[in-house]
Amino acid sequence: MNHLSDDDLVLHYYGEDAPDMVAAERHLKSCAQCARAYETLARSLDAVTPPEFVGSVDDLPDLREMIRARLRAHSSPLGVGRSTRWEETGLIALVWLVPLAYPFSLQALFGSARWTQEHVVGIPLVAFALIWACAGPFLAMSAMNRFESHSGLSTRLLVFGALMAAISPALFLFVSRVDASLALNLGVWAWYGALAVAALAAMVRWPDTSYSKEQLSYVHRLTALFLTVFVLAHVINQALAFVSLASYTAMRGVMRGASQQPATYALLVAAVVIQITTGAAVSMKNLRSGSFARNLQTVSGWFLAAFLLVHVLSPVLFSPPTEVSTTAAASASQFDLLATPRSAAQLPFLLLGVAAFLSHVGVYARLAALAYLAEASVRRLSYAGALVGTTVVVAVGLSLCGIHL
């Protein structure tokens, strides 16, 4: 056996080296160098004894008074918890208002873009309309951070409302495609019909899956690895369009050729389906109030699922393919998504898709990095990653609006 490392010695000290414990002990008996190192470690750790609380813990009256005071601060004069209930109702109304108003944000986006062609002062209006159209996932994040319980109708309404707010840009495109593909010509009523179905689904209590979070996460990560290669190539290429349209078009041709091979396409579709189902199950187990990182991963995962559904499954679900293309530049020959009302709907869809992908992978990378780096280093890397991600999203956004270097 080789010499035991410092970490091996720590595991041995705490009895956490179960499969190798006997071998480690045998080695310590035969190797003077390791035995000395272990003795020094044990001496230091043995000297770290647990402190005992010597103060009084008979502070029950104080504790009772503190909890009552905090409850009074939370509640209205009319009754305990009433203001919280109003707050919750307001939050539910707000998250459902986002998808209800979503079609108007697209009209505002296209209208302000047209106005910009005549007056330069319209640019802030375009930015405002774009923020409005992209606000859903951020509002969903805020709602998830405030949500209080894991059961009950109000929680389901809040979670489903947050889900609909988060995926509105993708789901709106999907519903429009279904409407166009089936020649229903329902227009915006198709969208409100979809929202009504989601509201009804929120009324039903959903069963808990019997698979553990670890099993689901493992399958989720496995298929994510496969998809990440394709999505990352897409994102890089989309950012490349900001620099050179010719390079963008050439690379897009190569990627399309690869992804349209029957075997590759079948694998892609299967990976997306597995991603959506395992992601949905894991996210429902992961919801936790006030946990920013987990909720960011959940909300970005929701959007990614809807994004991939529209982007990859559309040719399978709608045959023959509709005229609307979800590929950024292909939909508008002049590479300007603000050129037509139809292509304008793709701007928040694609921008949020890139942001969701980077956030989802970023949060996972941050959690994984904690296993190898100190917290402070991970925090600094996270800030750097957020800066790079924002730059990529802005570059993609500008290229999609027809602004290139």
Binding site for another protein (CB under 8 A): 6-7, 10-11, 14, 16, 40-41, 43-45, 47-48, 50-55, 57, 59-60, 63-64, 66-68, 70-71, 74-75, 80-81, 84, 148-151, 291, 367-368, 370-372, 374-376
Query: Shortest distance, CB of residue 354 to another protein, whole angstroms?
Result: 27
| Residue 45 or 254 with smaller CB distance to another protein | 45
Query: Shortest distance, CB of residue 45 to another protein, whole angstroms?
Result: 7
Provide φ and ψ at 309, rounded to 5°. Answer: -60, -50
Query: Shortest distance, CB of residue 74 to another protein, whole angstroms?
Result: 7
Which residues, at least 6 apart from 102, have a Cβ–Cβ distance to it below 8 Å? 133, 136, 168, 169, 172, 191
SS3 category, 76: strand
Query: Shortest distance, CB of residue 18 to another protein, whole angstroms?
Result: 10
Q: How far apart are CA 235 and CA 358, in angstroms?
A: 9
Nearest-CA neighbor of 345 among 360, 325, 359? 325
Kindly list the distances between the CA atom of residue 403 and the CA atoms of 336, 346, 396, in Å, as whole numbers in the listed order.
Answer: 8, 16, 10
Query: Shortest distance, CB of residue 29 to another protein, whole angstroms?
Result: 21
| Residue 71 or 93 with smaller CB distance to another protein | 71
Query: Shortest distance, CB of residue 42 to another protein, whole angstroms?
Result: 10
| Residue 1 or 63 with smaller CB distance to another protein | 63
CB 85 within 8 A of CB 79: no
| Residue 80 or 131 with smaller CB distance to another protein | 80
| Residue 81 or 321 with smaller CB distance to another protein | 81
Query: Shortest distance, CB of residue 116 to another protein, whole angstroms?
Result: 43
Provide φ and ψ at 75, rounded to 5°. Answer: -105, 165
| Residue 74 or 256 with smaller CB distance to another protein | 74
Q: Copy the structure tokens of residue 252.
A: 């897009």
The total number of residues written for the chain in this structure: 405
Q: How far apart are CA 294 and CA 299, in angstroms?
A: 9
SS3 category, 79: strand
| Residue 69 or 182 with smaller CB distance to another protein | 69
Phi-psi region of 290 (alpha: psi -120 to 50; beta: other; left: phi over 0): left
Which amino acid, 264? T
